Structure 1
Amino acid sequence: MLKKVFLALFVAAAISCSAGPRVNLDGDGPGMLKPDAAQSVIVKDLVGLFESIHYKKVPFNDSLSSEIFDKYIKTLDEGKNYFLKSDIEDFENYRNVIVDDLKEGDLSSMFHIFNVYQTRYLERLKFAESQVKNDFDFTKDETYTYNRKNEDWFATKEEANETWRKRVKYDMLTLKLSRSGEEVENKQKNIETLTKRYENLISQAEKTNHNDAFQIIMNAFTGAIDPHTNYFNPSYAQAFNEDMARTFEGIGARLVLDNEVVKIMEILPGGPAFKDKSLQVDDRIIGVAQGNEEFVDIIGWRLDNAVAKIKGPKGTVVRLKIIPAGQELTSQPKIISLTRDKIVMEETSAKKEIKMVTGDDGKQYKIGVINIPGFYLDFKAYNDKDPNYKSTTRDVRLILDTLKQEKVDAVLIDLRSNGGGSLIEAIELTGLFIDSGPVVQVRDTRNRIEVDNDEEPGTSYDGPLGIMIDRFSASASEIFAAAIQDYGRGIILGTQSYGKGTVQSAIDMSRVISASNRLLLKAQNIDRQEVAPGAPEFGQINITMAKFYRINGSSTQHKGVTPDIEFPTVYPADKFGESSEPAALPWDQINATKYSPVANLSNLITALESKHETRMQASPEYKNMLEDIKLLNEKEDETEVTIQEAKLKKERDEAEARSAARNNQRRIAISAGHLPLEAEDKDADKKLKVDFVQDESLNVMADMISLIKK
């Protein structure tokens, strides 16, 4: 039976749905951020959970304490732009006691570090804002060190001020070079633009609350154990689960914060806002009411707080006070009423397109390209036995049916930047392309090995198949690509994948926190953050509890999947991917399981490689890619930039000239060596945007079709 577990790759620092206490810059007074009792309980119970069921079995000792400390400082200020050297020296007192504190649920030292960071952060921003109106001398030969990772911490505030003066000067020079026209007029516009930028940053920073601090603390804590164990606060847990499901319940609009006001950025097709037609892009929402309740003014709110108010369960009513696009905030607002519904995020679901490719044999081939951005599954609808639940496999099966009706000669699946998702979907998607059999092996914390199979006989597509991967194809993507490769069912094209071979289980923290602790929190009348409907009250932990292996016995951990047809990569393994993570689990292997390969493609792959290499040697785009990689490698160790106008302008002019030369080269190629694209060609810009890796992968697929036919 398939394990109902999820895999996730990239996790950003979460922002919670709480108004919370504000930062006070006057020292460790009553206004400073402090943990609440629920956060202390959560962290204490998590330590116990990690010690008992985490796959890695990490000892909670001084060594881990030091790792958490370093991870925390790096999370807050990796670029060494905010803390002073004296701050770091003060923090060193906590290095070896953090684990002991966490075991006791004591977060005081971690919050102290965060409060100092928040103070320094606001100091830097306010200093930067004060420098915007300076009369900068852009003829002076100065440089700005933008990458300070290898520098020492600022010794004094004066040293920090000097670096930030140069940062503002660089920002101002960048704006100056981007505008043409009257010098005086542009200078005023640049001052207004930069002032507004820093004002917005300060405004958002001042809304930081104890839940934000707790989320960052937890990121450092869990990240020191392994890179894929993550605690999500309630709002981020809800966002994670919605992303996995590709569905959410609400009004069907994407929102953005603009000058302290929530603005409509996009209306999602098929949602309540789309059907009602009352809301338009750039309308601003200044008030929200639930059903017939009183309106709540949301001007100046954090975006996540506003979103929590506007979203809600399917079938419920929300009323909005709207200032239509183009009208002043002082205008009379209009009131609209919307009934929330379930929204399916089609734009992040699997999609198809058909490409016509001319092979070396002169024949035209029709290739169906399926882009799969993630392995998603509406787990709640799946468990509720909803016949219309959303999933990757269901979507791809329908796409394959349409491609077969259109008589494609081959299918190319694009998994580039697909960070993974549901293990179930990786297994079931594989089942669309093999008859039946094992797909992946999973070893748990007790070293028990389970083989997960595709148990449904038959295939949805049995023709020529290619899978594109890159350095950011991970987790479920690697399970699928590895199974296709091991069965000889298709060819893998691209670059070495990420190397994430661990399995996470998503656990609602309400199941972890003991009943006595929940009663204690209730008795203390803890002021919990406002939790949106459907969000777990105490958040969610995605904890590493197993490791997966290919059916040939090899782990994808660290090593990932190596393509059959390889392309150059701009992302070196020592800086990107699992092998760059210090807390990652090692590579290993187990015994292979029994499986019957569909075919041995080694001879075919050799022939395809030969044709691919011949094309590459004659390809201008391949040459461009190698030049880009060389340029990026050369710039990798650069840490500073000139802030002398003449020098910076020269560097940018040279970069633009290189780009223009490439575009002219592409125009000539597109027009078959005759004339450049006509100015009235509306698709000119689109044609010049070359996806070289996909284009060459399509050529390889054309070779594959031709060779199979022969």
Structure 2
Amino acid sequence: MSIAERMMSRRSLSSPRVSSPRAGVLCRALTVALLFTTPMGLQAKIDDTLHYEPVAPTIEQAPANILIARQLQFTHFRDLQINDELSSDVFYTYLDYLDGQRIYLTQQDIKRFDRIKHQLGSALKTGQLQPAFDIYNLVQQRIIERLEFALSVIDQGIDTLDFSKDESILLDRSKADWEPDTAALDQLWIRRIKNAVLAQRLNGTDDDTITENLRRRYEGQLKRAYQARSEDAFQAYMNAFAGMWDPHTSYFSPRTSENFNINMSLSLEGIGAVLQSDNEYTKVVRLVPGGPAAKQGQLQPADRIVAVGQEGEAPVNVIGWRLDEVVDLIRGPRDSTVTLEVIPANASDETMTKTIAIKRDEVKLEEQSASKDVIHIDRNGRDYTIGVITIPTFYADFQAMQAGDPNYKSTTRDVRKLIAELKQEGIQGLVIDLRNNGGGALHEANDLVGLFIEDGPTVQIRNANNDVQVLNDDDPSVAYDGPLVVLVNRMSASASEIFAGAIQDYGRGLVVGSQTFGKGTVQAVRPLNHGQLKITQSKFYRVSGGSTQHKGVIPDIEIPSRIDKTRIGEDALEHALPWDQIEAVPHTRYFDFSAIIGELRKRHEERFAASPEFRLLQREIEFLEQQRQMETVSLNYEKRKAEHDRIETVRLSIANARRELRGEPPFKSLEELDEWQDAQAADLNTTDEELDFIIREGGQIMADMLDLDKRMASILEPRQLAAQASPQ
């Protein structure tokens, strides 16, 4: 094939009439053989053996589209019409899914879609999928062009790249404009490659290894692009459509629907992590309590997985992969090890990755069970004994329950037993730790509230028809009637928020920590002729009338957290349902904390100001915030190295400050720190014998409550104040 023929071939592929079915026929007959001329004179890598086969809608997908449209319009909690405005929103959301970082398409490409942009609404009602498939096919072609271009740059030799210029690159391009044309996009990709090379060089990787790493990454992505399927386009389009109603409404393809763990919770068998797609990446949403990843300790929420490796094999780059395929790669035999290369949530640069080895295992119910501890607080010569119950999730062994086993495990049954044991140990107050508890069985949250109140409503549930169901605790018995503190953080969600909100509304205890997740919606999975639709059908409300949706539960006493609220939480999700409120239901107020809350906060703040652990936490939070606020990184070697060294010095300093607090010798280098972290993570039996200082602060607040006001004795023998239901 001559250069002229290749150029003609490229023009034919890059300029299809996206609204014409004939364009798809033409593209099928063409080989993707691309030539690029750039200011640097780079020529794209040519592979005449590879062909991109444009995907087309199947006969089953059109009726599924129509069913999805009807379900969304008539049964979703949010009342939203399919019109021209929605059409435009779906269009841009679909493009965000396909090219979220604005690195494949140009402004010229976007302009071609102007007519389609306003036609998607009517097309979605009638199952006309070709316009969306035309968009998908063009994006796939552009992805192939970009990856071929990247490989051509690598083939020229990374030693030819110039790192002496005063250049920089934008870290997050999700809000940036698309580049005007191909020439500008070429320059953007050269900067992206320089960024990847620079980051690896600063981490001590040699150029040969960097070249191999990058070539493997781009070739892997290229292979995925050539393997595009009709269902990929349909699922992306339907999820862009369904996501207009709320972020928890989504379409599952038939393949995804085959696996309950994937389709219902996206739970990864083998490591215990909940994942979701995030542009080209697979992002960790949360860790399953008691699972291998949670026990290993290195994988964290908001980490993004870029590669997956099996024992004895080279890692496979999974950028751009479908979620179900990443799941399949991570799953494996029990006791085998999977290696994940991730971009840490706090990384200042997408090229800064770390490798985590996790031994696969099943998540055992007993490892998610509630557990207890006791702490002793010396206050003015008086010793306070405080019980602590940690609840990782709201669980119930449904199989044992249905089989009639009188000793089946559940959150409420286990906590009742732990309370009885703590009473025997003479506790004067109780701390319930719900941090990182992502929820679980709704009835368990309802029953757990019942352990601390005589009877009454616990949560309200409103459906799309505005019908409200009130769940009640009908058991007048109380397992614990003493002072109570509930610890929460940003990862406390759903059932955790129901429990914490009820305890707060009843004046039954204080909520301490950081604002919770804000997941206050209920989903149901409905079958289609082709796949399934997970759709939001109702919403949770507290007994005081306010929703837990979006806003979550606001603590009475706040403690800062390392978790980035801008990236994790309901209010960080696009199209999340808003907070609102309905009429409160009558409920008892057991104690009015307004007379003492000011003094409790004052004592807490004074104690934290004097606490070396809290000062270290604040320092770490400030450091992480500085990293998050970095919008660009330099591509000049000297400037980048100086910034890299500064960041590594701070990391080591924070780690050694924590070692000093524990009376342990400092690390001499970051390499020693990393080796220690790897060793700790590899030993799943390693535990921190000392309760963390947040739990201990919960005990201190409890001691303040007991020490501050003799009226707290009224909680020890609960008295009901006048029934009231003032909104929070």
Q: TM-score, normalised by structure 2?
A: 0.69
Residue 612 (1) aligns with residue 604 (2) = yes
Residue-pair matches, total: 589
Aligned partners of 1:429 and 1:243: how far apart in 2? 28
Match of 1:465 in 2: 484
Match of 1:339 in 2: none
The 3 A distance-change label for structure 1 pair 380 and 407 is same
1:234 and 1:540 in contact (8 A); partners too: yes
Aligned partners of 1:67 and 1:246: how far apart in 2? 26
- Equivalent position SS for 1:450: strand
Match of 1:156 in 2: 181
1:598 to 585, 590, 605: 590
In the TM superposition, what whole-angstrom CA distance separates every residue of 1:184-203 from its partner, at most 9, and x where no partner exists? xx222222233233333333
1:350 and 1:396 in contact (8 A); partners too: no
The 3 A distance-change label for structure 1 pair 689 and 557 is same
Residue 444 (1) aligns with residue 463 (2) = yes
1:147 to 143, 153, 172: 172
Aligned partners of 1:122 and 1:30: how far apart in 2? 9
Match of 2:150 in 1: 128
The 3 A distance-change label for structure 1 pair 45 and 698 is same
Aligned partners of 1:244 and 1:216: how far apart in 2? 18
- Equivalent position SS for 1:58: coil
Aligned partners of 1:382 and 1:104: how far apart in 2? 46
1:473-512 maps to which residues of 2 (within 5 A)?
Answer: 473-504=492-523, 506-510=524-528
The 3 A distance-change label for structure 1 pair 254 and 50 is closer
The 3 A distance-change label for structure 1 pair 578 and 324 is closer
The range that moved more, 101-110 or 560-569, is 560-569
1:123-522 maps to which residues of 2 (within 5 A)?
Answer: 123-132=145-154, 133-135=157-159, 136-179=161-204, 186-237=206-257, 241=261, 304=324, 345-346=364-365, 349-352=368-371, 354=373, 356=375, 358-361=377-380, 369-375=388-394, 392-393=411-412, 396-397=415-416, 410-504=429-523, 506-510=524-528, 513=529
The one-letter code of the counterpart of 1:92 is D
The one-letter code of the counterpart of 2:371 is K
Q: Which has the higher contact order (CA 8 A, sep 6+)?
A: 1
Match of 1:562 in 2: 554
State the shift of 1:614 in Å: 0.6
1:663 to 637, 641, 655: 655
Residue 78 (1) aligns with residue 79 (2) = no
State the shift of 1:651 in Å: 1.0
The range that moved more, 575-584 or 138-147, is 575-584
Match of 1:697 in 2: 698
Aligned partners of 1:203 and 1:105: how far apart in 2? 30
Aligned partners of 1:107 and 1:367: how far apart in 2? 62
State the shift of 1:124 in Å: 2.4
Residue 68 (1) aligns with residue 90 (2) = yes
2:121 to 99, 123, 143: 99
Aligned partners of 1:107 and 1:34: how far apart in 2? 9
1:116 to 113, 138, 142: 138
Aligned partners of 1:102 and 1:384: how far apart in 2? 46
- Equivalent position SS for 1:119: helix
Aligned partners of 2:366 and 2:522: how far apart in 1? 27
2:616 and 2:658 in contact (8 A); partners too: no
> Which blocks of at least 5 consecutive residues in structure 1 are unaligned?
1-22, 181-185, 256-267, 271-280, 286-300, 312-317, 326-341, 514-537
Aligned partners of 1:475 and 1:361: how far apart in 2? 39
**How many percent of aligned residue pairs carry the same amino acid?**
39
2:375 and 2:696 in contact (8 A); partners too: no
The 3 A distance-change label for structure 1 pair 454 and 179 is same
State the shift of 1:576 in Å: 5.7
- Equivalent position SS for 1:554: coil
Residue 31 (1) aligns with residue 56 (2) = no
Q: TM-score, normalised by structure 1?
A: 0.71
The 3 A distance-change label for structure 1 pair 670 and 75 is same
Aligned partners of 1:385 and 1:590: how far apart in 2? 39
In the TM superposition, what whole-angstrom CA distance separates every residue of 1:404-452 from its partner, at most 9, and x where no partner exists? 6666655433434444444333323322333321011122222222211
- Equivalent position SS for 1:545: strand
RMSD: 4.5
1:284 and 1:323 in contact (8 A); partners too: no
The one-letter code of the counterpart of 2:460 is Q
The 3 A distance-change label for structure 1 pair 648 and 308 is closer
1:246 and 1:344 in contact (8 A); partners too: no
Match of 2:66 in 1: 44
The one-letter code of the counterpart of 1:162 is Q
1:549 and 1:556 in contact (8 A); partners too: yes
